[in-house]
Amino acid sequence: MRVEPGGLSNINDVKILICRVLSELDNPVAMTDLTDGMLADGYVNYFDYAVAISDLCENGHVRKESEDGRTVFYITDDGRNADRLLGATLPLAVCEKVYAGVLEAKSGGRAECVIEPHALGCFVNMRFALNGRELFNVRIEAGDEMTAEDIKRNFLKNPHDVYISLIKLIK
């Protein structure tokens, strides 16, 4: 399986990416969702992914459990530390695409969030599509980049809940 240009071909980078994605999600992720998301856009080779996740479990960075008849992964403190120390070395575009792919696999929808700096702060553009239909497309202003990054991170953690909450507020 070929890796797309700009993708990760170093096994250690794939391990760091897995730790980064699991750290950001901060909850158990089904093996099928993680696998589908990691491989969706071709930024990671299946064989590198399989070796990386196996090594991470063996070395205690990721914990593998069975819940409700499915295999799920949890990030451990060691995995979070690896992400904190090395996660910033990965290409941001790859991290965001893979993270969005895992969210899409997990929720059945695709979330996107783009920050646009401007003279007085930042615009945060949030979009959520489910089954090919755009359900949510919102642009808000944040006073600074740190606030914009917090908004982005929280939106991408669970875009479906943001969409449902918005509907409840305006209904």
Q: Are residues 47 and 101 in the same domain?
A: yes
* Domain contains 4: no
* Domain contains 44: yes
Q: Are residues 55 and 17 in the same domain?
A: yes
Q: Are residues 71 and 116 in the same domain?
A: no
* Domain contains 1: no
* Domain contains 39: yes
pTM score: 0.67
Q: Are residues 90 and 70 in the same domain?
A: yes
Ordered per-residue pLDDT tens for the chain, 171 residues: 566 666 788 899 999 999 999 998 867 898 988 998 888 878 888 899 999 999 999 999 999 999 888 899 999 999 999 999 998 898 888 888 888 788 777 766 778 889 999 999 999 999 888 766 787 899 999 999 999 999 998 888 777 778 778 877 887
Can you tell me whether residue 139 is helix, strand or coil?
strand
Q: In angstroms, rounded to a whole number, what is the distance separating the alpha carbons of residues 119 and 53?
A: 43
* Domain contains 34: yes
pLDDT tens, residue by residue, 136-156: 899 999 999 999 999 998 888
- The number of folded domains in the chain is 2
- Final residue of a domain: which of 63, 92, 107? 107
Which residue in the block uniquely carries the two structure tokens 């069975």? 66
pLDDT tens, residue by residue, 26-36: 678 989 889 98
Q: Are residues 83 and 144 in the same domain?
A: no
- Final residue of a domain: which of 107, 135, 160? 107
Q: In angstroms, rounded to a whole number, what is the distance separating the alpha carbons of residues 83 and 96?
A: 14
Q: Are 56 and 15 in contact (CB under 8 A)?
A: yes
Q: Are residues 99 and 36 in the same domain?
A: yes
Q: Are residues 102 and 116 in the same domain?
A: no
Q: Are residues 127 and 87 in the same domain?
A: no
- Final residue of a domain: which of 83, 107, 131? 107
Torsion sign across C-alpha atoms 54, 60, 65, 71:
negative
Length of the chain in residues, anyone?
Answer: 171
Q: Are residues 103 and 115 in the same domain?
A: no
Q: How far apart are the first and last CA of the chain?
A: 47
